[in-house]
Amino acid sequence: MRQVLSFLRSLGLTAQFLLLATVLYTVLAIGTGTLQNRIISERMIEGSLEIEQALARGVLLSVLGDEPVREYLPPALEAEIHDAVMNQIDPAYINRVKIWGVDGTLVYSSSGPVESLGKLEPSVMRAVNGETIISRADGFSPENVEDVTLGSVVYEVYMPLVNRHGQVIAVGEIYCSVELLLTRISRMLADTDYIRLASLLIGIAGLAVLVAFAQRRINAQERSIADSLRRSDELAERNRQLFNESERLRTQAAQISEAVLNRIGSELHDGPIQLLSIAALYRSQLVHAEADLPLARKASELLDSALTDLRSISTGLVLPTLDGLDLAETLRLAVLNFRTECGTEVALELDEAEVTLDPDTRTAIYRIVSEALHNARKHAEGRGVSVRAEVSDGVLDISVSDKGPGIRPVTNELRPSGHVSLGLAGMRNRAKSIGARFDVISRPGRGTQVRLSMDLETGADCWHAAAIPTTDRTSASGMDEAGAYALSKEG
C-alpha cells in the first residue's frame, strides 16, 4: 500500500487526475455495462418466450377444439396433437410440449407416454385460473426431473388455452432452452462492449487532451503569477529601500535644520546682539540734552526694540538640551522657557502616563509647542493660553489653546500679499516628519486651538509608511495664514 501511495505521489498532477479519472470511468463503465447486459438479456429472453408461447398456443388450440380436456385425451386426438407439434414447432426453440387437463391431470407430453404424478402441480392450477406462468425449470418438481436435462438454461411456460368462447379448455406447457438465444445475445453484447470500450478510450483520450491543455494554461498562469509576485517583491524591496533612505534623509535634514537654527541663534547672540548692546552703552553716555532730542529718543526706542526682538529670536532659535526628557518634562521645559522669555502665564495640564520619546519626536514636539505659544502670545495677546496633553487608547493628543479673536476666513494658505507663512508650514512639516496629525481649529471670537495627534502604539514609522496626510482645518470659517497664526515670529 505504501508503495502504491509513493508511486501516486511521484506522478504529476495531470497524471494523477488522468489515472483517477480512468479508474473511475472504467469502473463506472463496467458496472453500468454489466447491469445493462443483464437487463437486455432478461428482456430478450422474455420477448422470445412470449413469441414461443404464442406459436405453441396457436398450434394446440387449432387441434383441441372447444371442449375442455379432463383426465385423458382420446388416442386419435392425441395422435393429431403429436403430429401438429412435430411438424409445426421447431424443437430448436421449443424443446418439449405438455398438455394438462383442467382437472390438473397431465394428458400429453411430446417426449412420450405420460405417467400419473400423484399430486396436482400448483403452476397448472394457476394457469387454469387464467394466469400465464414463466419460470426457470428446476429439478425439485417431480414432473421436471427429466425436463431439466434439456439444457443448462431451461425455462418452462404454463399458459391457459382458451377457446373462442373465452373458456379455459386446457393448460399448455412448453420447455424452452435459451442457450442458443443466450449465445446470440452474448455475441451482440460483445459487439456492444467493443463499442463501449472504444468510446471509453476515445473519452479518456479527449479528457487527457483537455487536461493537458488546462495544465499548460495553469502552468502559464502560475508562471505569470510567479513573475508578478517576483516583480511585486522587487518593488516592495525597492520601496522599502526608498523609504529607509527617505527616513535617513528626513532625519539628517531635521538634524541639519536644528544645527542651522542653533548656529543662527548663536551668531545673532555673538554678532548683532553684542554690537547693539555696545551701541546701547555708547548711547547711555551721550549728553542728556542731546539724548532728549526727538530724533535721539526715537532712535533709542528703535534700538531697544531691535535688541529685544533679536534676543527673543536668538533664544527661540537655540534649542535647549532635551536629552533624556520624557513627554511631560519636554512640555514643562517649553512652557517654562516661554514664561521666562515672555512673562505670559500658561495653564499646563498633563496626563500622568509616562511617555518616552525618541530624540526626533521630542525635538519636533518642543518646536511645535513653542511656536504655537509664541503665536498665541502674539495674536491672542496671551489671553487664556493653555497646553494640554493626554494619552487615550494609545493616541497622544497635545493641544495649545488660547481665548483670542480666532481666525478670519480665507480660501487658501496664501497671505493677501501672496507670501506663504513659514510658521504654519514649519509646524505642519515637523508634524508630518514624526507621522503626526496636525490640525488648527478655530472660530472667530472663540479663540484658536492647535492640535497634534500621534499614535504611540504603531509608532511613527507606521504613520510614515501609511502616508497619513496632515491637515489644517477650521470649524466654520476657514483659516487665514496671516490672521490664523502666521504661527511664526515673523508675523
- 279-288 long-range contacts (CB < 8 A, ≥24 apart) are 279/303, 280/304, 280/307
Q: Which CATH architecture has domain 12-184?
A: 2-Layer Sandwich (3.30)
Q: What is the pTM of this model?
A: 0.44
Instruction: Note the pLDDT of residue 411.
Output: 42
Instruction: Note the pLDDT of residue 438.
Output: 92
Cα separation, 109 vs 421, whole angstroms = 131
With CA atoms as reference, report the closest residue to 330 among 367, 303, 305, 302: 367
Instruction: Note the pLDDT of residue 317.
Output: 64
- 391-394 long-range contacts (CB < 8 A, ≥24 apart) are 391/351, 391/353, 391/355, 391/456, 394/455, 394/456, 394/457, 394/458
Which pLDDT tens digit goes with each residue over 13-36?
Answer: 777 777 777 888 788 888 888 888
Question: Using an 8 Å Cβ cutoff, are 435 and 422 in contact?
Answer: no
Question: Using an 8 Å Cβ cutoff, are 110 and 86 in contact?
Answer: yes
Instruction: Note the pLDDT of residue 136.
Output: 81
> Residue ranges per domain, the chain?
12-184, 321-491
CATH number of the domain located at residue range(s) 321-491 in this protein: 3.30.565.10
Which ranges of the chain have pLDDT less than 50?
Answer: 410-420, 460-491
Question: Using an 8 Å Cβ cutoff, are 451 and 431 in contact?
Answer: no
